[in-house]
Amino acid sequence: MSVGRVSEWENYSDLYRDISPEDLELLKSRIKALEEKGLSRDEILALFLSPDKTAIPPTIFSRKLSPLESVVKYLREALDMDFKEISSRLSRSQQALKRAYNNAVDKQPSVFKPTEHRRMIPLSELKANLSILEAVVTYLADTQRLRYADIARLLQRDPRTVWTAHSRAQEKQ
């Protein structure tokens, strides 16, 4: 960790004065390890502050399935969530989710076994006022600071589609 980075974290010293020195050193070592893995300060703070630890790997997206179908299939098969829980998390009707899941199973019968990815997408980022693609692209572009070309490659979409989704999301917000 560079000297400049240490001082960034130490600017928050008044926030952790009630933490024991041992716990503080442990926290600093964990933060250093995360920084060494390439996470930014904002990404690290998001990890600590996020109330919902459920996240979606970007590897679930494919050209075969729509983004909603991919997310619902992943949540059902990999995380074993029922439609009621998925409905409450995504703010979408159970009927629409069941339809999306059945369509996904018809298109891709094999069970989802996605791999962990460095850039997991928190489920809490999938807001009801945005489509799944708009929400994912917005998170990757604005929070993760990825370029459209990188997002397109990650989601297996055309860069123009990614740009359009981000543009539409910005108009809605």
Q: Is the pTM of this model over 0.75?
A: no
Residue type at position 41: R
122's enclosing H/E stretch is: strand 121-122
21 burial (CB, 10 Å; 0-12 / 13-18 / 19+) is exposed
What confidence tens digit (pLDDT) does each residue in 141-160 have? 999 999 999 999 999 999 99
Kindly list the domain boundaries of the chain, sorted by start residue: 3-49, 55-172
Portion of the chain with pLDDT greater than 70, in percent: 81
Q: How large is the average pLDDT for residues 10-37?
A: 73
The pLDDT, as a whole number, for residue 3 is 42
* Amino acid at the residue 156: Q
Going by pLDDT thresholds of 50, 70 and 90, the confidence category of residue 22 is confident
Q: What's the pLDDT tens digit per position in 26-58?
A: 888 878 877 887 767 776 776 666 555 688 889
Tell me, what's the pLDDT at 4? 45
Q: How far apart are CA 128 and CA 47, in angstroms?
A: 22
The pLDDT score that the predictor gives to residue 76 is: 92
Using CA atoms, how far residue 144 sits from 33, 120, 126, 157, in Å, is 18, 10, 15, 18
